[in-house]
């Protein structure tokens, strides 16, 4: 395979399309394209590095686009809230609770929202748990257990801890 930049970019784009069509699965079409990264090990690694760079730039582009679209979505949401507040204010000023037009029916109703205060004391929390108004949430601290094993407080990793080890690749 000719490793000219334009050819590599074409292969990266073909790989990108094939992966999108396969929803990220490595299919036979993708494998065929990956096999085109032939040559010695150093060339192969550099070709894959180029593909990684291509995908990183694509991901960055999508991230920027996602932020732009999110900002537009939030602006639309703010305009909706504003327009709804104008409608609500107009109905309230008119002294009505229900208005029907040719296009829609508008009505106002009172709602309640209940929330537990965050600054309640420990005794109240215990009473709430005992009455069934709250639950005790068990949340182990994995970092504390890890620190205890590393500093020798625990002699070995407890049986209730699952340790998964991975090998990572760094490219500079």
- Does residue 35 contact residue 14 with C-beta atoms inside 8 Å? no
pTM of the model: 0.53
Query: What stretches in the chain show pLDDT beneath 70?
Result: 1-6, 8, 36-41
Q: Reduced to 3 states, what is the DSSP secondary structure of residue 136? A: coil
Residue 36, pLDDT score: 66
CA distance readout (Å), 140 to 120, 126, 146, 163: 23, 20, 11, 15
Residue 1, pLDDT score: 46
| Cβ atoms < 10 Å from Cβ of 44 | 13
Residue 161, pLDDT score: 87
Q: How would DSSP label each residue in 50-110?
A: HHHHHHHHHHHHHHHHHHHHHHHHHHHHHHHHHHHHHHHHHHHHTT-SEEE-SS-EEE---
Residue 38, pLDDT score: 61
Q: Which are the contacts of 100, defined by CB distance < 8 A and separation ≥ 6?
A: 106
Q: Could you give the dihedral angle defined by the CA atoms of residues 7, 9, 14 and 19, in that order, rounded to the nearest 10 degrees?
A: 140
Residue 165, pLDDT score: 87
Residue 40, pLDDT score: 66
């Amino acid at each position: 395979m000719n490793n000219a930049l334009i050819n590599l970019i074409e292969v990266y784009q073909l790989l990108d399309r094939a992966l999108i069509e396969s929803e990220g699965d490595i299919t036979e079409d993708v494998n065929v394209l990956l096999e085109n990264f032939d040559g010695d090990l150093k060339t192969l690694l550099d070709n894959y590095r180029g593909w990684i760079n291509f995908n990183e730039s694509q991901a960055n582009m999508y991230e920027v686009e996602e932020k732009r679209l999110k900002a537009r979505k939030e602006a639309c949401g703010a305009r909706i809230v504003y327009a709804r507040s104008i409608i609500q204010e107009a109905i309230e000023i008119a002294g009505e609770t229900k208005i029907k037009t040719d296009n829609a029916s508008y009505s106002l109703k009172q709602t309640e929202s209940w929330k537990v205060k965050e600054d309640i004391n420990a005794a109240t929390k215990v009473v709430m748990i005992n009455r069934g108004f709250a639950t005790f949430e068990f949340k182990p601290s994995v970092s504390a257990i890890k620190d205890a094993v590393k500093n020798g407080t625990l002699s070995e990793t407890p049986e209730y801890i699952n340790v998964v080890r991975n090998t990572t690749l760094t490219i500079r």
